[in-house]
Structure 1
């Protein structure tokens, strides 16, 4: 085919594409195509199994009687469209949950017709969002949700809790707070850790919580082996759920902290020398397991313990999931009703907790329902602090040394002097050997104390660093208990 014959085909494809699709770019430069009037956008370079823009463009040209074109003409047309789109407006794409105009948020139902749920403090409804407001991006992990039921009067919440095996009402309230937090794209939420004895239905309960947001195709998965696989899984869906964890190595623990509160990953773009690919992510997570061993302090502040108990009556998987699929529209409708009430509620933001946004959400839930969620959240953090201390011999030794101090008393020593004092205290009169991983230098001790500083502060032991004209020092203070009136007002 001559060049004169190629140019008209390329021009025909380009004219058709620009009249039937809207093209824009994201902040990282990726160009997306969005069918006119439809909220779902696809990257024009995608070759994914969920349908690429090249495929939908070919189908549109054929069905509208424009013609069938060869690969060269399509490639040249898409190259031109991509170059032109780089000068267009920048707009983000979202998976499952997105912010909207006027304080609203959107929930993608994963339907072919693009219908989504608009959630606002004044109510929720189902509509197709304006493409200028929301652009959905879908992957193989984007399952379809049922149309939520209206006017449920909270019946769906009771139906859900009857299927789950949560230990008590406080745990149920925390689970509801997490689900409401998953519908807010701008607020990081702690990762619920479903734990309990063998046979308590931890995996089943986790799937039920995930499928309220991700649909019946949502599922749990094993922990990835490396950071790249983890980021790939996180970027492809909204909720990342890890099943049957037995231990948390430091690298996985640090990566989970980044996923929960947000981070960015940069790697070299394929088939290039200098271009890079930026991956920004902050996603809700869910974990299940009987015991994960030692929990690092920074992750403990980002976890939410949900305890389950063994059911008295066992049911078959087929019966259980058939009932769940039947009640899911009512469950989703009740959750949306509760979300509207919570967002309209007024409550003060607790200032003493790490994840203040989630603490504020718990306070709003309490204001709307009186569940006592914030108190349960504080109790969950206290339990996790106990787990951290029980797994850290250095923290136990520091607390033991602080018990020798009077309330309000402080001790200042250099890091080397503290290392000698704490090592001697741990070894005791029997001179037992120091455990593996015990600090070997003052610098290592200082770094370890910085890591466990929030955990020690939760137990009334304050650690601070300073410098005199002679040397640097570490100060450990046993905090004086607050007056009874302040203790009561704190809960």
Structure 2
């Protein structure tokens, strides 16, 4: 046979690839390859160590006796495949959890065979999802979960609580609510902040909670030094756990707010001048630490404080994690059972809390079990408000001034006048020096009050902004006392 009659290597590779793999693109234009009948998808341009599509294509060609091809032929074939896939329908890829058909959600067990858990209000079962319903993306952070045990009668939840050192029953039910929220891809959940004295097992408790979702390879990490590295780590996994926080910069605080409620980052694509790529993320976040100093109000509304106490009996690491690995299938099965009950429960949506989806989940958990999760969540937010006020001298000064305002009345002044008033109130007759970070201009004061507005409103001090013909003003008021809203009254 002459060289002209030979089929080019790129065509052999392309024909083999299209007969053994399904190719599609995501909304950002990334092309993925999915082996026929298998739910795991890999980006065709990936060079990662978790197994790239190029590698699996080369292995398939070799094992099927078709041959070994040079890099040029492989590159030309993948270029053609990528161009053809850009005309296919758009389909998203997911890490660990994904929405499915008919109101179901899926949990990726991280197994090589692709078996996953389908969770529905009518029950849960283990099966391999239809590749057109769910496409899993895996990274080095995707650990393998054991097959969960069915019909545990809640035994796994009790086993988990015995292993963790949660201080109160209210803390336990909030931890359970957070774990259930981690199994829902569309529900933003507040970030648990595990606190307690030294030796309370904060890191160990955090690892246990993470490993229920991420498998035994899930672990805690140190907080990255910059936002870009944090976003990269967050986008590559599902639950992100940051250990032993002792200080929280404003930049890190803002980044955490974005992670909890969702945001998108746009960066310049490599080796291009004008093209960009988008990284969207919203992930469950977990933090541990004894004290992080002053907590900013916007982050406080997205936190879930879980206090631990020192255990009376110490155990070795090897013994503890061996026992945890043995009971993890039962814990996961009990969590799935409870998730099914919660999703089937009917409950009103609290409209006065910022994290309304999580508050609704707590209400559903109460309807299914009677644990009192919603009341515990409200109490935790109240405690966080106290922490914010204790760490902010401006908030304390505003509350001190508002205490002298008659209920049902308000005071209006310009921002500069308020700055003079509050500064004088803080300095007092002894003219004590102003603390670092005290507002220096009316504009800075106005911006600080906007951040503190929800925290002060929770303490009965309302702040508003307006304009007259002459100038703009800030209004501080104490509303007349009235009955609490129905939801709050029911909670307490």
- Aligned counterparts, 1:46-445, within 5 A: 46-445=46-445
Deviations 1:449-486 (A, max 9, x none): 00100000000000001111111111100122223796
8 Å CA contact 1:256–1:299 kept in 2: the answer is yes
Q: Secondary structure at the match of 1:102?
A: helix
Q: What's the offset of the Cα at 1:272?
A: 1.0
What is the CA distance between 1:172 and its match in structure 2? 0.3
> Which 5+ residue runs of structure 2 have no aligned equivalent?
none
Find out whether 1:488 has 2:489 as its counterpart.
yes
Displaced runs of 4+ in structure 1, greater than 6 A? none
Cα distance, 1:28–1:440 mapped onto 2, change above 3 Å = same
Name which of structure 1's ranges 426-435 and 322-331 shifts more when overlaid on structure 2: 426-435
Tell whether the 8 Å contact from 1:267 to 1:278 is kept in structure 2 after alignment: yes
Alpha-carbon shift at residue 67 of structure 1 (Å): 1.4
Offset of 1:228 from its aligned partner? 1.2
The answer as to 2:457 corresponding to 1:457 is yes
For residues 114 and 23 of structure 2, what CA distance do their matches in structure 1 show? Answer: 18
**Quick check: 1:362–1:374 contact (8 Å CA) kept in 2?**
yes
Alpha-carbon spacing, 1:370–1:104, altered in 2? closer, same or farther (3 Å): same
Cα deviations by residue, 1:159-191 (Å, 9 ceiling, x for unpaired): 000000000111000000000000000110000
Question: Separation in 2 of the partners of 1:340 and 1:397?
Answer: 48
SS in 2 for 1:326: helix
2: CA distance between counterparts of 1:273 and 1:442?
A: 42
Contact 1:6 1:73 in 2 (8 A): no
How much does 1:4 deviate? Answer: 4.9
Following superposition, the deviation at residue 490 of structure 1 comes to 5.2
Structure 1 residue 407: deviation in Å? Answer: 1.3
CA 485–263 in structure 1, closer or farther in 2 if over 3 Å, else same: closer
Q: How far apart are residue 376 of structure 1 and its match?
A: 0.4
Cα distance in 1, alignment partners of residues 3 and 137 from structure 2: 36
CA contact (8 A) 1:221 1:242 kept: yes
Evaluate the alpha carbon distance shift between residue 4 and residue 52 of structure 1 in structure 2; reply closer, same or farther with a 3 A threshold.
Answer: farther
**What is the TM-score of this pair, normalised by structure 2?**
0.98
2:38 maps to which residue?
38
Change (3 A) 1:4 1:285: farther
Q: What SS does the corresponding residue of 2:8 show, helix, strand or coil?
A: helix
3-state SS of paired residue (1:304): strand
**Secondary structure, counterpart of 2:337 in structure 1:** helix
* CA distance, structure 1, for counterparts of residue 67 and residue 273 of structure 2: 38
Distance 2:323 2:9 in 1: 54
SS of the aligned residue for 1:134 comes to: coil
CA distance in 2, matches of 1:34, 1:54: 12
TM normalised by structure 1 equals: 0.98
Secondary structure of the 1:437 match is: coil
Aligned partners of 1:478, 1:3: CA distance in 2, in Å? 90
Whole-angstrom CA distance in 2 between matches of 1:335 and 1:481: 42
Q: Which moved more, 1:344-353 or 1:4-13?
A: 4-13
Q: Identify if the C-alpha distance between structure 1 residues 427 and 49 changes in structure 2 by more than 3 Å, giving closer, same or farther.
A: same
Distance apart, 1:489 and its partner CA: 3.7
Q: Deviations over 1:349-397 (max 9, x none)?
A: 0000000000000000000000000000001001110110011100000
Contact 2:24 2:88 in 1 (8 A): yes
Match of 2:137, SS state, is coil
Residue 446 of structure 1 is matched in structure 2 by 446
Counterpart of 1:475 in 2: which secondary structure? strand
Contact 2:105/2:184 (<8 A) preserved:
yes
Q: Is the Cα–Cα contact under 8 Å of residues 462 and 479 in structure 1 kept in the other structure?
A: yes
- The alpha-carbon deviation at position 7 of structure 1 amounts to 5.5
1:468 to 1:24, Cα distance in 2 relative to 1, 3 A: same
Q: What's the RMSD between the two structures over aligned residues?
A: 1.3
